[in-house]
A = this chain, B = another copy of it.
Amino acid sequence: MRRPNYHHGDLANALTTAATDLAREGGPEAVVLREAARQVGVSATAAYRHFAGQGELLHGVKLQAMDLLVERLHQELARTPALPDPAAEAARRLRALGYGYLSFALAEPGLFRTAFCPPVRGEPTDQSGTPSDWPVPDLNEVTPYAMLVEALDAFVQAGILRPQSRPWAEVFAWSAVHGLATLMLDGPLGHVTPAERDQAIERTLDGVAAGLAAI
């Protein structure tokens, strides 16, 4: 009879999944290596066969959280049909991204916080080998950002956004939505009623679309 837990076979994934569940419940501070090992039913030491340390485990959770956010964005893009008019279609896509981002933040506050938490000592370096504080130093490697770039390119092609106003439009749009998310999760907007929250979301998404189109 094989002793259980010996040669688990997929311990790295199991630990990352357990750690992601911890982040889901309690945010980045809850990503505790010993606790993840406990949940999997393995000694804390075993984790060191698969991760350099707690920082690398947290990094894995960040990537997983980011993947889930991207998945949510794709879902929201697919939820309504594409529109024939290019301008309307571009607006639909931008709104879907904004709404998906916010609904992910509200549905999974712990994961959202973890995906965007400040880098921690001991997190892995980027592929170039130079140490990096943020796992993805190039903005274009942040997938939600890339999706936003696409949507805004469509704005230009549809003639809603003038080419000379194109630069940094992603940052404006992203800032508004990201800021609303953090104010709702951690800030003074956390105590408004759901109805008020929806109004704030609508108003902000409208403001972003108008702010892009007007300039």
Contact = CB atoms under 8 A, between A and B. Distances in A.
Interface of A: 116-118, 132-134, 136-137, 139, 142, 145, 167-169, 171-183, 185-192, 199-200, 202-204, 206-215
A179 B174 contact: yes
Contacts of A202: 168
Nearest to A132: B191
Interface hub of A133, A175, A192, A211 (most chain B Cβ within 10 A): A175
A190 B139 CA distance: 10
Contacts of A186: 116-118
Q: Which 7 A-B pairs have the closest CB atoms?
A: A179-B179, A211-B211, A175-B179, A168-B203, A172-B207, A207-B211, A175-B180
22 contacts: A118-B185, A134-B188, A134-B190, A139-B188, A142-B188, A168-B200, A168-B202, A169-B203, A172-B176, A172-B203, A175-B177, A175-B204, A178-B187, A179-B180, A182-B182, A206-B211, A206-B215, A208-B211, A209-B211, A210-B215, A213-B214, A214-B214
Contact of A207 (B183, B191, B203, B215): B215
Nearest to A136: B188
Q: How many copies of this protein are present in the complex?
A: 2
Contacts of A173: 207
A81 B186 CA distance: 36
Contacts of A117: 186
A101 to B, nearest CB: 11
A186 B117 CA distance: 7
Given A134-B191, A168-B204, A213-B214, 15 more contacts: A116-B186, A117-B186, A134-B190, A137-B188, A167-B203, A168-B202, A172-B176, A172-B203, A174-B183, A176-B176, A179-B180, A207-B208, A207-B211, A208-B211, A211-B214
